[in-house]
């Protein structure tokens, strides 16, 4: 590894996606050299602002292609495998692509990478599935994913940690604006409905989960790069400690900013997403990382975002 962090060369697979489009810009602004490998499946032009940067390179290709990956690894100090089919609905629609992209490609990456190459992977705290009522999920909590998405991401995490020179960030449900926008994420979706329809019907509104702003996700990767030696070899929950919220509580928070927003809980029906848990982020906080953006910050940001984004085509499903 180079002596100066800013000399490090980073390969990001899936770097033109929802998280990657924010993270790539942040890394470039912090002096890193960044190469993005992306299939541009959604025909997104989200990295156009990076093309003028001498320290930025982009390759159109598939993270599952062994030859492509092998060539790109030759010039990488750090790999961030973002490429994935993200979310249970998208994975259920194409389970073979989900397994080969989310899991097999990462396992192949870990086999090809040298022991000196660092790997920082985003996984998901949805691996906790359904938690025990009133009990916080920590990194020691047994993994019980209830979706194909959760299972493939947990398998990818295992491969990275077994590589011996990696970190896994178990991300809470991400929210906030991105050049490759996703309207289908829970906070983003509810704010969209609050802005456009002024109403939402909740199914099983008592289900809880944790949340994190997309710029704090970029921030935790930067934190991991700068503190890699003391953090490596472990998974870290990454979310807002004051945002273990039920869907009903999330709507109440949105209503504070958009008073005309109306939400009701359906007396019948079920949410196909059965995740229900609260999460402790104590381990990542103990390393010195501090999130900067609240749910309220994200809602205000998204209200402005939806003056630009006018439809739900900006989504994974």
pLDDT (tens digit, 9 = 90+) per residue, 69-89?
A: 999 999 999 999 999 999 989
Per-residue pLDDT at 4 exceeds 70: no
pLDDT at 267: 83
Phi, psi angles (nearest 5°) of residue 80: -120, 100
What 3-state class would DSSP assign to 38? strand
The mean pLDDT value for 145-162 works out to 95
36-49 pLDDT per residue, tens: 999 999 999 999 99
149 to 79, 152, 228, 281: CA distances (angstroms): 21, 5, 27, 22
The mean pLDDT value for 228-234 works out to 98
pLDDT at 6: 57
196 inside domain: no
27 inside domain: yes
248 inside domain: no
The mean pLDDT value for 117-131 works out to 92
Q: Between 229 and 6, whose confidence is greater?
A: 229
Total tally of structural domains belonging to the chain: 1
Place of tokens 């924010």: 22
Query: pLDDT band for position 274 (50/70/90)?
Result: confident
**Proportion of the chain above pLDDT 70, given as a percent:** 98
Domain of 161? 5-176+211-240+276-292
162, exposed or middle or buried, with CB in 10 Å at 0-12, 13-18, 19+?
exposed
269 inside domain: no
87 inside domain: yes
* Residue in 52, 18, 21, 32 with CA at minimum distance from that of residue 183: 18
pLDDT at 132: 82
CA distance 312 to 231: 38
* Residue in 17, 159, 160, 166 with CA at minimum distance from that of residue 86: 17
CATH number of the domain to which 41 belongs: 3.40.50.720
Mean pLDDT of the chain: 94
226 inside domain: yes
CA distance 154 to 157: 5
Query: pLDDT band for position 275 (50/70/90)?
Result: confident
175-200 pLDDT per residue, tens: 999 999 999 999 999 999 999 999 99
172 to 151, 211, 241: CA distances (angstroms): 16, 5, 10
Per-residue pLDDT at 2 exceeds 70: no
48 inside domain: yes
254 inside domain: no
CA distance 275 to 126: 7
Place of tokens 């002096």: 31
pLDDT at 221: 98
CA distance 268 to 252: 21
173 to 109, 180, 187, 268, 312: CA distances (angstroms): 25, 16, 8, 25, 18
The mean pLDDT value for 301-317 works out to 91
């Amino acid at each position: 590894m180079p002596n100066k962090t800013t000399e490090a060369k980073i390969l990001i697979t899936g770097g033109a996606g929802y998280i990657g489009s924010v993270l790539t810009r942040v890394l470039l602004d912090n002096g890193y050299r960044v190469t993005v490998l992306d299939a541009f499946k959604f025909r997104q032009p989200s990295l156009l602002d990076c093309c003028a940067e001498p320290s930025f390179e982009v390759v159109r290709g598939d993270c599952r292609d062994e030859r492509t990956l092998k060539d790109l690894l030759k010039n990488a100090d750090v790999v961030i495998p973002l490429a994935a089919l993200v979310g249970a609905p998208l994975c259920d629609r194409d389970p073979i692509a989900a397994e080969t992209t989310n899991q097999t490609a990462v396992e192949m990456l870990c086999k090809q990478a040298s022991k000196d190459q660092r790997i920082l992977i985003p996984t998901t705290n949805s691996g906790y599935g359904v938690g025990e009522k009133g009990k916080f999920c920590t990194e020691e909590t047994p993994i019980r994913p209830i979706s194909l998405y959760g299972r493939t991401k947990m398998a990818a995490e295992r491969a990275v940690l077994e590589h011996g020179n990696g970190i896994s960030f178990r991300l809470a449900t991400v929210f906030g604006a991105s050049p490759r926008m996703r309207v289908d994420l829970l906070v983003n979706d509810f704010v969209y409905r609050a802005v456009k329809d002024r109403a939402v019907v909740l199914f099983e509104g008592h289900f809880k989960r944790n949340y994190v702003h997309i710029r704090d996700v970029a921030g935790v990767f930067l934190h991991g790069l700068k503190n890699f030696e003391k953090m490596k070899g472990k998974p870290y929950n990454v979310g807002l400690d004051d945002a273990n919220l039920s869907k009903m509580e999330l709507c109440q928070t949105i209503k504070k900013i958009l008073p005309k927003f109306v939400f009701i809980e359906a007396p019948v029906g079920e949410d196909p997403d059965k995740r229900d848990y609260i999460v402790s982020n104590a381990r990542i906080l103990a390393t010195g990382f501090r999130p900067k953006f609240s749910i309220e910050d994200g809602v205000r940001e998204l209200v402005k975002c939806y003056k630009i984004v006018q439809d739900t085509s900006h989504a994974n499903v």
